[in-house]
Structure 1
Amino acid sequence: MPLGKRQNGARTALRWLLALAYGYAGWLHVVRPAPFLAITPPWVPEPALVVAATGIAEIAGAIGLMIPATRKAAGWGLAAYALCVWPANMHHAFANVAIDGETLSWWYHGPRLVLQPLIIWWALWAGGVTNWPFRERGK
């Protein structure tokens, strides 16, 4: 079902916002990996390689969201990515991992963990994989 002009405009704006966020986060993974290495759970093999690969995946997903031919695949990929990095976010929170000598409170960790499903949905919606919960009026 096609969306109305207002919803398409919102989707475009939020797609750009998500792409910018993932692009910036991916760039940080590559150029400043230390904080991401710190929150990587100990069971992850080759953490430096994984952090670099996740940064490249974020950048590729961000670019993919902007290209209509790859948009859905990028949406699926970024949603899967957000699901797969959830354990690092949990490790960061529950192990109280310090980054640059500083730990973050539950005012950061609580919302971050709870909002992860929203980030997954956002990737799917921005990628045009789903229109849920929006639908055309009268349908």
Structure 2
Amino acid sequence: MAPVITLTAVTLLARLTGQLGVEPLDGWQASLRLGLAAMFLLTGAVHFVPKFRDDMIRMIPERLPAPAALVALTGVLEIAGALGLLVPATAPAAGWCLALLLVAMYPANHSAARRGVTLAGKGPTPLALRLPEQLLFIALAVLAAL
């Protein structure tokens, strides 16, 4: 839930700031990029927080090798994508790359939800919410890329 709240709050705050005349935040796309950057900085950072990291390692399907390395790699990619969204010249590529990363990570999220893997002691996201949430994040990353 924290990613959705972060994305929504930062996007709306950035949009309000843009309405007040702050040039770089003038427009929905700039505000969306900032909101997505905040969300991916948050989600990428928790890949390195022990109480989250251990659960994320358990989220990786057993058939995939080196789950700890995959968690670290996806955390680094999320942070790199977030930073890329903040630079106008790299924002389109960052948006597309983040959309592809979300597609690539979905099977692990789906598997974790089916297996009931918790994240930091909180229950798993129900499958009925997992796919729509992931599709929303993918669509927003594509909008940020356009």
TM-score (structure 2 length as normaliser): 0.74
Are the aligned partners of 1:30 and 1:56 in contact in 2 as well (CA < 8 Å)?
no
Which residue, 39, 58, 68 being the options, matches 1:21? 39
Query: Which structure carries more relative contact order (alpha carbon 8 Å, separation 6+)?
Result: 1
Residues 104 and 72 of structure 1: CA distance in aligned 2, closer, same or farther (over 3 Å) = same
Which of 115-124 and 53-62 deviates more?
115-124
How far 1:99 sits from its partner (Å)?
A: 4.0
What do residues 46-97 of structure 1 show as CA deviations (whole Å, max 9, x unaligned)? 0011100100000000000111111111011100100011011111111112
Q: How many residue pairs are counted as aligned between the two chains? A: 121
CA drift of 1:112 comes to 2.1
Q: Structure 1 stretches of 5 or more lacking a match? A: 129-139
Larger Rg: 1
**Separation in 2 of the partners of 1:99 and 1:56?**
19
Find 2:29's aligned residue among 11, 24, 33: 11
Superposed, 1:1-139 pairs within 5 Å as 9-32=27-50, 33-100=53-120, 102-104=122-124, 106=126, 109-128=127-146
- Structure 2 stretches lacking a partner, 5+ long: 1-17, 20-25
User: Given the two structures, how large is their TM-score scaled by the length of structure 1?
Assistant: 0.77
AA matched with 2:87: I
The one-character-per-residue Cα deviations of 1:9-62 (angstroms, maximum 9, x if unpaired) are 222212111110001111111233112112111111100111001000000000
Give the helix-richer structure, 1 or 2: 2
RMSD of Structure 2 on Structure 1 (CA): 2.0
Partners of 1:10 and 1:37 in 2: how far apart? Answer: 35
Q: Counterpart amino acid of 2:35?
A: L
Q: Greater CA deviation, 51-60 or 96-105?
A: 96-105
**Partner Cα distance (2:82, 2:108) in 1:** 20
CA 1:40–1:10 in structure 2 vs 1: closer, same or farther (change >3 Å)? Answer: same
